[in-house]
Amino acid sequence: MIVLACYSNKGGVGKTAASVNLAYALSLAGFRTLLCDLDPQGASSFYFRVKPSKKLTEARFFRDVAKFTAAIRGSDFDNLDILPANMSFRDFDVFLSQMKNSRSRLKRSLKAVKNDYDAILLDCPPNISMLSENVFQTADGILVPVIPTTLSQRSFEQLYSFFKSRNLPVKKLHGFFSMVQSIKNLHGETIAEMRERYGRSLLKSQIPFASDIERMGVHRAPVIHTVPNSPASAAYLNLCEEVMSRITTV
Amino acid sequence: MTKVNIQTFYLSDPTNCDFSATCFGKLKMIVLQEYQRTSNFTVLDTFTQDLRRSGQLLFQTLDELQLLSAGGQILSQPTTGGQQFVDQIASGPVKDSLSGISSLRRLLPVGSGTLQEKVLALMDEELKTHARAHLLLLEPKQGNAAGIVVTKGLRGYGKSLKLLRKVILECGGAEVDSPKLYPHLFPEYRKYTTKPQVGIGYGEPAFASATKIISNFLSVARANEKGILADHDTEFLHDYRVALRKVRSVLSLFKGVYDQEQTLDLKNRFSVQMAATGRLRDLDVYLLDKQKFYGLLPQNLSPGLDAMFGQFAAEREAALESLTKKLRSKAYRKEMKALEQIFAIPKSLAPGAKANLGAHDFAMELIWKRYNKVRKTADRIGAHTPDEDVHELRIMCKKLRYLMEFFAPVFPKQDFKAAVEPLKDLQDNLGKFNDYSVQQENLNAFLTSLRARRETETLHIAQSVGALIAVLYTSQKEERRKVTQKLQGFNSMRTKETFRCLFYYRNHKK
């Protein structure tokens, strides 16, 4: 079982759109996939029309295997299940800080479903917290969407430094440019500069800024499903392929 | 991802299949896909009803093969049609599920009609699917319509799935049972088996038992006549011959049940019918083994085999024509009808001395005697015993097996199985030994009678047949070597004890 996380400490960079489409792309490729919505806003659950789980509180998430597995919902698509979020997830940090082995609790929870899935994708909330540290420890690969702008670049730098300072393996980090607008000079310059600096930590695939992606909120389905022939769909499919070939060859 | 929760229902009254107006509480049934066109379907099965017996329903539409599997799943794969045997179906999920169906049997139409298809989803107010239903509405041309609903759950929505299934049951749905679908869809459909279970009572008179067995196998033989005439596949003739052979076996093995003179007359009459089928069956066996023969020889000998099989195919055509002519003749039909009537109205049969013996006692006497004969011959056979004795043993084993199978219903199932297994094992080996031997004999005869058009062709055939005989000889030797080993199982104390317990005739005890 492979665990991937879509993570950025900056909000609004396209994490959820990437999580939703990557999870769908994995399911299309035949991987039995679980998308875990860890963000209390529950956006990826919303995209799949799955209602928030009432019973899966933060305590049960980490302590009650039966409740954890019972909260999983089948999506409308083959090979793809969703673990929906709810507002109690906002207290994950407080809860985790009170637990023993607080950095490996997520890994333990996911063990409960390791035989059910080939791939688990974690859609993470935008912060660096105890939950994030759990994600860093659990995931085989951390996908970091980066808008080619100064602030987003800064967030990636912060994350990279955090990994170095905590002796976490930076090879787990797979940044990719998101919401790219090729007509903007700043985007082009930032991409070139970052590629030179971070080399293999950045994936080749880029996600364009596209209204089809914005409209996912209206259609409430992955863009690969609603507009399969769009450039955005092709970009997510490429991203999925590149990530999987990197992770599986490691 | 947990195992997909699939359950299939069938509704004998398909007017209840429209769930769009049905109340599902807060949920709604939405039609996701409705196939506008109504397509024609034809249900296919082998003559021996292998699909029905394996709990499957196979049907063909214009461009698809669909299968209602034994597990209640609907599988489909595209087809351009024209497949007549399972191995001619292209790779796909339907073909995979048919792996247990014999490729020797042609897929024949059971019945046809029109098909409508819908995919429904049970959704909440956010339009999230909770459960799905795949609906098939089959309307046969002559028969009763039926709705098949395949329900499928999504993880985490167990309650909704339960509700959907409850509603289907309330609408008159029942869990699908494919074998029962056949007579519902096609009321004229009749069950058929080559091995009819002839119910024999423990104390039933031997005369009545024998008559019942013969009558049943005679029906099997007659049921295969149409298939032989249409030349659907080779197994019609094979089953016809096996059934008649069983009839003859009852006549010759059930000694004293019928009047001796009448028995002899009946045996001759059945032998006449059998004799006309021998050559065609031999040729069928050769042609079925064609690929195996090619595999036995190096490629440079293939031209000889091509010519040989060309001759066999031509000869088969002639043999089939001659048999067809016979089966269509008035004389044949009259004779078969007369034979059927003899066993349908037992009054026309003269009873023998043992006619009134109870089936169980009669079976014990016959089987125990026959078993001892086999055992004596088997005891004699070693590594250097002449082949003729091995052939004799094969024939004796066959007779013993027939006897045991005829009377199987009057013995305890488990003990009976324990007695049959070592015999079966020995027979497999003896059967192969005999096949190799007969094939060599026939190929030698073929060489002698060779009438090829050109000299080079004769030379090619002779080379290939010569090589084939050599290979078959080696295989026969190999089987012969195994005979001694297989006999150990049959001659074991355990088998002897099993036979003794089951069949030791009380007169012998005295």
Interval B15-42: pLDDT, tens: 767 777 777 888 888 877 776 567 899 9
| Residue A135 CB burial class (10 angstroms; 0-12, 13-18, ≥19) | buried
Residue type, A122: L
- Secondary structure element (H or E) that encloses residue A143, with its range: strand A141-146
User: Of A49, A72, A220, which is closest to B156 when you measure between CB atoms?
Assistant: A72
Chain A residues whose CB is inside 8 A of the B1 CB are: 32-34, 79, 81, 116-117
Residue closest to A174 by CA, chosen among A2, A27, A30, A48: A2
Least confident among A190-204, A218-232, B31-45, B422-436: B31-45
Question: What tokens appear for A242 in the block?
Answer: 């590149």
Beta bridge partners of A33: A80, A119
CB pairs A-B closer than 8 Å: 37
**In a 3-state reduction of DSSP, which class is residue B116?**
strand
- Decide if pLDDT at A61 tops 80: no
Model ipTM value: 0.87
Nearest chain B residue (CA) to A114: B1
Query: Which pLDDT band holds residue B452 (cuts at 50, 70, 90)?
Result: low
Q: List residues bridging with B131 in a β-sheet.
A: B122, B153
Residue A200 CA to residue A6 CA, distance in Å, equals 17
CB contact under 8 A, B155 and A81: yes
Q: Specify the pLDDT at position A243.
A: 94
A220 interaction partners in chain B (CB closer than 8 Å): 126-127
Contacts of B161 in chain A (CB under 8 A): none
A116 touches B: beta carbon within 8 Å: yes
CA atoms within 13 A on the CB side of B215: 15
**CB spacing of A51 vs B129 below 8 angstroms:** no
Over the range A94-106, which residues count as b (16 or more CB within 10 Å of their CB) and which as e? ebbeeeeebbebb
- Classify strands B174-175 and B146-153 as parallel, antiparallel or unpaired: unpaired
Q: What are φ and ψ of residue A121, in 5° steps?
A: -115, 125
Beta strands in A20-140 (DSSP E): 33-37, 73-74, 80-83, 119-123
Between helices B235-253 and B260-275, what is the axis angle to 10°?
Answer: 160
Of A49, A81, A220, the CB nearest to B1: A81
Q: For chain A, positions 24-83, list CB contacts with chain B under 8 A.
A: 32-34, 48-51, 70-76, 79, 81
Q: What is the pTM of this model?
A: 0.76
Instruction: Look at residue B129 in the predicted model and tell me its pLDDT.
Output: 95
| Per-residue model confidence as pLDDT tens digits over B364-385 | 889 999 999 998 888 888 878 8
Residue A192 is encoded by which pair of tokens?
């070139």
H-run or E-run covering B32? strand B28-34
Q: Which residue has the higher pLDDT, B33 or A211?
A: A211
B124 phi/psi in degrees, rounded to 5? -95, -175
Q: Which residue of B has its CA nearest to A53?
A: B156
Backbone angles phi, psi at B396, to 5 degrees: -65, -40
Residue of A nearest to B5 (CA): A74
By a Cβ cutoff of 8 Å, what residues of chain B touch chain A?
Answer: 1-2, 124, 126-129, 153-157
> Rounded to whole angstroms, how far apart are CA atoms B508 and B510?
5
The pLDDT, as a whole number, for residue A89 is 74
Hey, what are A23's tokens? 């999870």
Q: Are B251 and B266 in contact (CB under 8 A)?
A: yes
> Cβ distance A142 to A243 under 8 Å?
no
Distance of alpha carbon B5 from alpha carbon A18, whole angstroms? 30
For residue B510, name the pLDDT band (cuts at 50, 70, 90). very low
Distance of CA A42 to the CA centre of its chain: 13
SS3 B35: coil
Tell me the pLDDT of chain A averaged across its residues. Answer: 90
